[in-house]
Amino acid sequence: MNVLIVGAGAIGQVFGFHLAQGGARVSYLVRKSHALPSSRAFHLDRLRRWGRPRTDAFRPHRFFTSLDELRAEQWAQVWLCVPSPSLETDWVTSLVAATGDATLVFLPAGLEVVDRLAPPKERTVVGLISLMSRSSGLGVSYWLPPMVTLVLEGPEQRRAAAVKLLRRGGCAAVSGDARRAGAFGSAVLIPHVVALEAAGWSYRALAQGPWLTDSLAATREASAVAAAQLGTRQPLGPRLLRPWVLRLALWLARWAVPFSLEEFFQAHFTKVRRQSEAQLREYIALGKRAGQPTPAIERLVHQVFEVERGA
């Protein structure tokens, strides 16, 4: 089974490894400036709460640098593992044409990303990223949280094939409502990460300054916008978030997570900073469309992104 990964960053490498472990022949589509020799192997450290990381390596079948090169192969699945702002509609349309009848697996960050790109619905599977990974030294470090699964939704046979391949490769995956899970997960995560950046990537500074209150208010606003967009009720969690709840969660995370959350968030989200800004601006635009106020989100955008650019 030929599987193509678009993007060879930290997320793409982890998914590529597990898909290869599941029996797929994995290749990558990368920019010419990021082209790698065919002999290049990826090295991954799977972090564990107790004990040393498990180190694995795998060598992709091939690296492609243009869409035209893809036409000579028959692809079963194409996984798009690049930041959502990097995806343009015309480019995705060309990718669809170049990959035959391959299943297109999107891991979007944003409520309207897949709708904007408009891939053929009969070929599209949408997934929610459930792992944490970052580049570290000469390889990638990642963590698969226990009892957390990758949620995939889409046409039954295509979704089931992707789930089966990941499970065989040691990555827990299930069928479910990925759009809902992703929408409300991002409503909690993105305001929190942006507020943490505003606090200098320090949880102590976040807890002592005004950013904690703003991040929780922005979470409630984003959750309300997501619920209106999806035509569903909000989960109880975002509405119950309070400063003491977040402080307790952070204290528990020190025992459960095998690395520093501050360091991880800074390393990973600095690279996808444009994506985080795009998500917050999407909440603002959707809120205005639905007549929902988003003052806390607007404050985060202004202080973190606009003031920096002198806007």
Confidence of residue 137 (pLDDT cuts 50, 70, 90): low
Question: Cβ-count burial of 63 within 10 angstroms (0-12 exposed, 13-18 middle, 19+ buried)?
Answer: middle
Confidence of residue 38 (pLDDT cuts 50, 70, 90): low
**Which amino acid does the sequence have at 231?**
G
Average pLDDT of the chain?
90
Mean pLDDT for 28-35 is 80
Window from 44-53, 113-122, 213-222, 250-259 with minimum mean pLDDT: 250-259
Task: List pLDDT tens digits, range 285-309.
Answer: 999 999 999 999 999 999 899 776 6
Question: What are the extents of the domains in the chain?
Answer: 2-175, 180-309
* CA–CA separation, 10 and 8 (whole Å): 7
> Which residues are registered as beta bridge partners of 80?
6, 106
Window from 13-27, 164-178, 251-265 with minimum mean pLDDT: 251-265
* CA–CA separation, 85 and 83 (whole Å): 6
Residue 37, pLDDT score: 61
Calculate what percentage of the chain has a pLDDT beyond 90.
Answer: 65
Mean pLDDT for 22-49 is 84
Which residue is it, tokens 């690279």? 271
Residue 34, pLDDT score: 63
SS3 of the chain: CEEEEECCCHHHHHHHHHHHHCCCEEEEECCHHHCCCCCCCEEEEECCCCCCCEEEEECCCEEECCCHHHHHCCCCEEEECCCHHHCCHHHHHHHHHHCCCCEEEECCCCCCHHHHHCCCHHHEEEEECCCEEEEECCEEEEECCCCCCEEEECCHHHHHHHHHHHHHCCCCEEECCHHHHHHHHHHHHHHHHHHHHHCCCCHHHHHHCCHHHHHHHHHHHHHHHHHHHHCCCCCHHHHHCCHHHHHHHHHHHHHHCCCCHHHHHHHHHHHCHHHHHHHHHHHHHHHHHHCCCCHHHHHHHHHHHHHHHCC
Confidence of residue 281 (pLDDT cuts 50, 70, 90): very high
With the CA atoms of 68, 84, 37 and 56 taken in that order, what torsion angle do they form, in degrees rounded to the nearest 10? Answer: -130
Residue 194, pLDDT score: 95
Task: List pLDDT tens digits, range 192-222.
Answer: 999 999 999 999 898 887 888 899 999 999 9
Calculate what percentage of the chain has a pLDDT beyond 70.
Answer: 96
Which of 92-101, 125-134, 144-153, 250-259 has the largest mean confidence? 92-101
Whether the per-residue pLDDT at 280 is higher than 90: the answer is yes
Of residues 272, 112, 115, the one with CA closest to residue 189 = 272
Residue 197, pLDDT score: 94
Residue 105, pLDDT score: 97
Global pTM value: 0.90
Residue 236, pLDDT score: 81
Residue 117, pLDDT score: 93
Task: List pLDDT tens digits, range 81-97.
Answer: 998 888 999 999 999 99
Whether the per-residue pLDDT at 311 is higher than 60: the answer is no
| Alpha carbon distances (Å) from 72 to 75, 118, 194, 310 | 10, 24, 43, 48
Whether the per-residue pLDDT at 35 is higher than 70: the answer is no
Fold type of domain 2-175? Rossmann fold (3.40.50)
Q: Contact at 8 Å (CB) between 6 and 82?
A: yes
